[in-house]
């Protein structure tokens, strides 16, 4: 059905209408702040589609993997040996216990995956458990597409549904705030550096909170103060920090005893995602799931989901382990099999430092492996990537319909509920808007209308 739906959508793009939709798409993105830095988020004319059965499968399997991650998080809080597998920094060891009183550390998180819906293949390659971006962008981008003429015509053939995220984000924030002990009205600071390229999304989110009657400001942590038992962003008193800044950058620039941490330590403000979310934000969290020495943590259903959906991942270190049921010497194995492996720094984002073995030179692979022996890295097995045809108007005005890699990154709210889904497109295997390429498109669930 999906292939048929895509073909029907592309049939609705004669040259004149495609050009009109292209111009309207870019005008609406400028008007509504749908830019990542100075780049429009979306340059193609079609959303990504799922049928209901595919979307339900993605949600169901994601929730099983979340259950396994929650067990790792709980065990790692208690066990030094598990935390050693995650390669925490000293400041992370110092701070993660500050949210022991919280029900969950995650208001929102995101699992990044490739989902070949036709074949039922779903592979999660990273867990963004600290500061998932894109929720506000996705909601507004879906609204933009619904205003384009091709989507209006497409809805005469299919019922389309977009799972909005900002409402679920707000609900999760309020749930966490009240569980923390918040009694007064929440006063939210959306905290990140003032010069980040996602500043437009922060403003979209702030406006959503304000329309719901919740006071909210954007705040650079360097401009915040903690005095007399109150956290301040200028003259705005804050009791709920919606953290978009990375903890590692916050500590590097402002130390582990900055005003935000002081307010959290004194329980004068809630920060979410909270500090112990960093435990699973490490790339090594997938290694903990897939490593045979940790199988005791999971029940049979979780082990089945891990086996099917978590690619073989290991911390890079000198050890023996299992690969496809046989014992290997890990470092020589990595050295000899770059054609099927990826190396990733344990605590980076935006695709930084990722080396794809089958696309790099032997020299680059060897150099990265040497680095990985002294700096925390993970190695991960190649997964089946997914590509679909997407239409885009080229600078000369012609319509190009060509394949692009596409991922499936479901959002999770309060550590348990799968909401919307970030979808990124790229002509390169490394799908990451931060890395400088590709597009973001909204995702719609389809149901064919009766004739």
Q: pLDDT by residue (tens digit) across 233-273?
A: 999 999 999 999 999 999 999 999 999 999 999 999 999 99
Residue range 343-356: mean pLDDT, rounded: 91
Q: Is the pLDDT of residue 451 over 80?
A: no
> Which range among 45-59, 139-153, 433-447 shows the weakest confidence by mean pLDDT?
433-447
The candidate with the shortest Cα–Cα distance to 424, out of 147, 48, 30, is 48
Residues β-bridged to residue 71: none
With a pLDDT cut of 90, the percent of the chain lying above it is 91
The candidate with the shortest Cα–Cα distance to 70, out of 286, 280, 313, is 280
Domain boundary assignment for the chain:
2-281+386-448, 312-381
With a pLDDT cut of 70, the percent of the chain lying above it is 98
Residue range 171-197: mean pLDDT, rounded: 96
Return the pLDDT at 430: 54
> How long a stretch of residues is the chain?
451
Question: pTM for the complete prediction?
Answer: 0.93
Residue range 124-152: mean pLDDT, rounded: 96
Q: 220 phi and psi, to 5 degrees?
A: -85, 130
The candidate with the shortest Cα–Cα distance to 225, out of 235, 211, 210, 213, is 235
Number of Cβ atoms within 10 Å of the Cβ of 162:
19
Q: 369 phi and psi, to 5 degrees?
A: -65, -40
Given a contact cutoff of 8 angstroms between Cβ atoms, the answer to whether 256 and 91 are in contact is yes
Question: Is residue 56 classed as helix, strand or coil in its secondary structure?
Answer: helix
Return the pLDDT at 436: 42
Query: Over the stretch 154-179, which tens digit does the pLDDT of each residue have?
Result: 999 999 999 999 999 999 999 999 99
Query: Over the stretch 24-43, which tens digit does the pLDDT of each residue have?
Result: 999 999 999 999 888 899 99
Query: Over the stretch 71-127, which tens digit does the pLDDT of each residue have?
Result: 999 999 999 999 999 999 999 999 999 999 999 999 999 999 999 988 889 999 999
Write the CA distances from 219 to 243, 349, 403, integer angstroms: 10, 22, 40
* CATH code for the domain defined by 2-281+386-448: 3.40.50.1760
Question: Is residue 46 classed as helix, strand or coil in its secondary structure?
Answer: coil
Return the pLDDT at 13: 97
**Angle in degrees, CA 301, 303, 308, rounded to 5:** 100
Residue range 316-328: mean pLDDT, rounded: 97
69 token code pair? 């991650």
**Angle in degrees, CA 11, 15, 18, rounded to 5:** 75
Return the C-alpha torsion angle 410, 82, 311, 121, nearest 10.
-40
pLDDT range class, residue 427, cuts 50, 70, 90: confident
Q: Is the pLDDT of residue 350 over 80?
A: no
Using omega within 30 degrees of 0 as the cis cutoff, is the peptide bond preceding 395 cis?
no
Which CATH topology does 312-381 take?
Answer: Dna Ligase; domain 1 (3.30.1490)
- CA dist., res. 41 & res. 29, Å (int): 8
399 token code pair? 């319509």
Given a contact cutoff of 8 angstroms between Cβ atoms, the answer to whether 46 and 6 are in contact is yes
The residue to which tokens 């597009």 are assigned: 439
């Amino acid at each position: 059905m999906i292939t048929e739906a895509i073909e029907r959508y592309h049939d609705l793009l004669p040259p004149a209408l495609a050009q009109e939709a292209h111009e309207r798409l870019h005008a609406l993105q400028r008007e509504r702040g749908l830019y990542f830095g100075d780049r429009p988020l979306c340059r193609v004319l079609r959303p990504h589609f799922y049928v209901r059965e595919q979307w339900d499968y993605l949600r169901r399997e994601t929730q099983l993997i979340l259950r396994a991650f929650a067990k790792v998080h709980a065990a790692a809080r208690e066990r030094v040996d598990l935390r050693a597998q995650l390669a925490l920094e000293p400041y992370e060891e110092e701070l993660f216990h500050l949210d022991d009183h919280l029900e969950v550390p995650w208001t929102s998180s995101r699992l990044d995956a490739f989902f070949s819906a036709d074949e039922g293949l779903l592979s999660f390659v990273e867990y963004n458990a600290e500061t998932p971006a894109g929720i506000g962008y996705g909601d507004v981008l879906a609204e933009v597409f619904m205003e384009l003429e091709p989507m209006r015509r497409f809805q005469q053939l299919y019922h389309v549904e977009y799972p909005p995220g900002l409402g679920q984000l707000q609900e999760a924030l309020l749930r966490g705030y009240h569980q923390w002990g918040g009694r007064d009205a929440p006063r939210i600071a959306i905290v990140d550096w003032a010069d980040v390229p996602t500043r437009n999304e922060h403003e979209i989110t702030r406006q959503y909170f304000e329309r719901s009657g919740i006071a909210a400001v954007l705040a650079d942590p360097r401009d915040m103060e903690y005095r007399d038992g109150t956290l301040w962003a200028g003259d705005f008193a804050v009791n709920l920090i919606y953290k978009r800044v990375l903890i590692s950058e916050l500590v590097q620039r402002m130390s582990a005893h900055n005003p935000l941490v002081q307010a959290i330590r004194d329980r004068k403000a809630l920060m979410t995602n909270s500090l112990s979310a960093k435990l699973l934000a490490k790339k090594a969290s997938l290694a903990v799931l897939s490593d045979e020495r940790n199988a005791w943590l999971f029940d049979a259903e979780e082990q089945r989901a891990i086996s099917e959906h978590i690619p073989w991942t290991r911390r890079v270190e000198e050890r023996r382990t299992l690969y496809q049921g046989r014992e290997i010497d890990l470092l020589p194995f990595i050295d000899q099999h770059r054609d099927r492996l990826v190396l990733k720094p344990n605590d980076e984002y935006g695709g930084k430092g990722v080396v794809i073995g089958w696309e790099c030179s032997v020299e680059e692979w060897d150099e990265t492996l040497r680095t990985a022996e002294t700096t925390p890295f993970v190695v991960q097995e190649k997964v089946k990537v997914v590509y679909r045809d997407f239409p885009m108007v080229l600078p000369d005005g012609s319509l190009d319909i060509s394949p692009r890699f596409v991922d499936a990154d479901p959002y999770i709210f309060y550590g348990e509920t799968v909401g919307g889904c970030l979808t990124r497109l790229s002509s390169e295997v490394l799908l990451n808007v931060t890395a400088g390429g590709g597009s973001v498109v909204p995702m719609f669930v389809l149901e064919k209308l009766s004739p």
